[in-house]
Every structure is written in C-alpha cells, then in structure tokens.
Amino acid sequence: MDIRQITPRYSVSPQINPEDFAAIKAAGFTKVICNRPDVENPPSHQADAMAAAAAAAGIQFEVLELTHQTMTPDNVVKQFEMVDAADGPVLAYCASGTRCTVIWALSQAGKASADEILGTAAQAGYMLEQLRPHLEG
C-alpha cells in the first residue's frame, strides 16, 4: 500500500487489494472510498468484492466512481459528504490516487489559495498544476 496523507482526516492511495483492509483498519482508518470505476478492474478488485473485504475487516466502504467526465461539482460535494459522515480518518483510492487528490483539490477552491492547495497535493506526490485555473476561478 502507498497511503499518502492529504489532511489529517483524508488520505489517498493507488489501488488497494482486498487483503489490505486489516492493515488499513490497523492504521486507524474508519472508512474507505473507492473512486475507481469497476470497468477498470478485474472482478477481484471491483466494488462488490472490495466492499465484502472491507465489511469483513470492520471498515465502512463507499463508492463514488470518478472519471474526467464525472469530476463534477455534485460529485465533489458527494465525496466530502461521505468524508464528513465518517467516524474518523478516510482513505480514498483510485488507480494512482490522482483522482482522489483532484477531487480534494477542487473541494478546497475558494477555501484556500491555489498555491496552498497545489502545495499540499505536491507534498503527497501529486503534481496538479493543470488545476490552477479552476482553483483560482
């Protein structure tokens, strides 16, 4: 696993495996959000299989499939409603962690400067300079 903290409450990761949930729970996460569409994964890593593994480990699991086309303001709100409803820290994953970081960055527009948002993303290893116009607009 390659968990990267964005904020004390929100971390991101590239694709996780079903057997990772015990370690995710041991690391203190209370909820996992899958941002990866099932069409990108083999059956062993699709949402239903991952949800079953999460339940077996005692972790809440939610799905919000994200693509470039579905990175909408409504989905930004949905993602962070899921985070806000969690009892503790949340781990969101996709193929590389980038989509999970992009949606966080978009949620911060108007709350922090573009430099602060992009700097936080960069500290986690995600270079999102292409978002600057959206973050400043």
Closest CA to 31 of 85, 96, 78: 85
Contact 109, 135 (CB under 8 A): yes
Which tens digit of pLDDT belongs to each residue from 11-26? 999 999 999 999 999 9
User: What is the domain range of residue 128?
Assistant: 4-136
Count the domains in the chain.
1
Pairing of strands 60-63, 31-34: parallel
Q: Global pTM? A: 0.94
Which tens digit of pLDDT belongs to each residue from 87-108? 999 999 999 999 999 999 999 9
Average pLDDT over residues 40-63: 95
Contact 128, 8 (CB under 8 A): no
CATH number, domain at 64? 3.90.190.10
